[in-house]
Amino acid sequence: MNSSRSQTRSFTTIFMIEMWERFGYYGMAALLVLFMIERVGFSDANANLTWGAFTALVYAAPSIGGWIGDKVLGTRRTMLLGAMVLIVGYLMLGIPDDRLGFVYAALGVIVVGNGLFKANAANLVRRIYEGDDARIDSAFTIYYMAVNVGSTVSMLATPWIKDRWGWHAAFGVCCAGMTVGVLCCLARYGTLVRIGSAPDDKPVHRRRLAMVLAAGAALALATVFVLQHRALAVACVYVAAAAIVAIFALMTLTCERAERAGLVAAFVLVLQSILFFVFYQQMSTSLTLFALRNVDPALSIAGVTLFSWSPAQFQALNPIWVMLMSPLLAGLYTRLAQGGRDVGIATKFALGFVAVAAGFFVYAVSGRYAMDGRVSSWFMVLGYGLNSLGELLVSGLGLAMIARYIPARMGGFMMGAYFVATGVAQYLGSVVANLAQLPSNDLPAVQSLPLYIDLFAKLGWLAAAGALISILLLPLMRRLGNTHRRSAAVLAGATTSARSRAFVSD
């Protein structure tokens, strides 16, 4: 196992490239729905569903990338290759060409890059702290903070740049950020030498690399086709959902008996994660459009305006809150674990749904205090705070859940399966967002407000139902967790004994 110092150095390298990758992705994400509506001419419904289909593919692609990292190119190499592909995708968006086919092609390249990058970056973190359960939750919480350091800066910067220099200049900044991330990783690549999968330790197999690049080009073209055909996008979501169930069923049936409890626990938590991401998707869709039409952009205290928001900048509240709360939660997890009072992941998930429900009820209540159809931006600050707490407790620990319950030999592939589940939820979230679609984009604020308030109230009750179900499942999850820990201890003891016998015989 790596020393603590070596672990920290390796983790810092992954933290940095993840931070810059998220800078690029969320800078683009803050603008894309508004870009499709205001520049390309999409309706709310078309923009929401296109965004949902794109993000579904973005999150599903790592299921393939994780396998490529585990079995074909190596985890380190695949992560770095994905980052380079993302540079190309953001560069394409930065080119002043608004033809729909070209925009879709850029999104296709981004899907490929994210597929190669995302699961492998997370899997490297898992390998750094493998076997150290006391530090896994804290490590993934801080790792999740990297997402939010990058996204905070970009979500504040790209709308501001767009307002002054145009859409494509803002997308170009996303490309520049991703480039910085790759350069930082290359400069510190030596810290990752002992971290990775088996193919990382062998020379690059050129034929395999060529096959991966060809498959990536095919996936990019398939993305363009899917985005142009809504029915096919829906079919892909259903197929992906069925694939998740089939994957877990197959793994459960073929795994060792001692591994079964962990897989069942992971499956339950993945289902809860799918529900969470339906709510998370509202930040880029219904909440952003609500901010555009029904939120007072001025942030004021006692009648004094501190500053004014651009509608897309409200999304930056999410990573800002996450950065503020991440160190507190990470420290709390470590202290509880050291004191033998660790709170299980299932309990954290249940508390997360409680926070999400409270956040959407805040948005719903804001309508009672509207003036001329616009609510105070302070409601957005509070609502995003509660939703971000829920995100840390659910999404922030989703990868830690895979790391804890899934055997190492299935790590990369199951990380990918988790992202497929996230992709399914992203599309479902865009469908939910369309429950508040407007009959026309120029509807007065007083008429659009009730549509959004009704949606947020329904989402609040749905999150409350998710919290109740999670609480009712806690006894089952505790039994599964205890069984998994006992089995893991037995397996670890057997492995140690076998190694000792082999040493003696040598």
Return the number of other C-beta atoms located less than 10 Å from residue 492's C-beta: 11
What structural domains and CATH numbers belong to the chain? 4-296+312-493 (1.20.1250.20)
- Which residue, 11, 256, 244, is CA-closest to 140? 11
Cα–Cα distance measured from residue 354 to residue 351, given in angstroms and rounded to the nearest whole number: 5
- pLDDT at 505 (0 to 100): 46
Which three-class secondary structure state does DSSP give residue 476? helix
Contact 477, 344 (CB under 8 A): yes
SS3 content of the chain, % helix, strand, coil (to 5): 85, 5, 10
Side-chain-side CA neighbours of 345 within 13 Å: the count stands at 32
- pLDDT at 204 (0 to 100): 81
Segments of the chain scoring below 50 in pLDDT = 1-2, 495-496, 498-500, 502-506
- pLDDT at 396 (0 to 100): 62
- pLDDT at 8 (0 to 100): 77
Contact 82, 122 (CB under 8 A): no
- pLDDT at 228 (0 to 100): 87
- pLDDT at 31 (0 to 100): 92
- pLDDT at 503 (0 to 100): 38
Q: Facing residues of 506 across strands?
A: none
CA distances 416 to 61, 244, 412, Å, are 8, 10, 6
Contact 24, 178 (CB under 8 A): yes
Contact 468, 354 (CB under 8 A): no
What DSSP designation does 371 have? B
- pLDDT at 423 (0 to 100): 81
Helices 260-280 and 345-366: angle between axes, nearest 10 degrees: 10
- pLDDT at 1 (0 to 100): 44
Where would I find the H helices in 255-371?
260-280, 286-294, 317-338, 345-366
Q: Facing residues of 375 across strands?
A: 295
- pLDDT at 479 (0 to 100): 86
Which three-class secondary structure state does DSSP give residue 385? helix
- pLDDT at 73 (0 to 100): 87
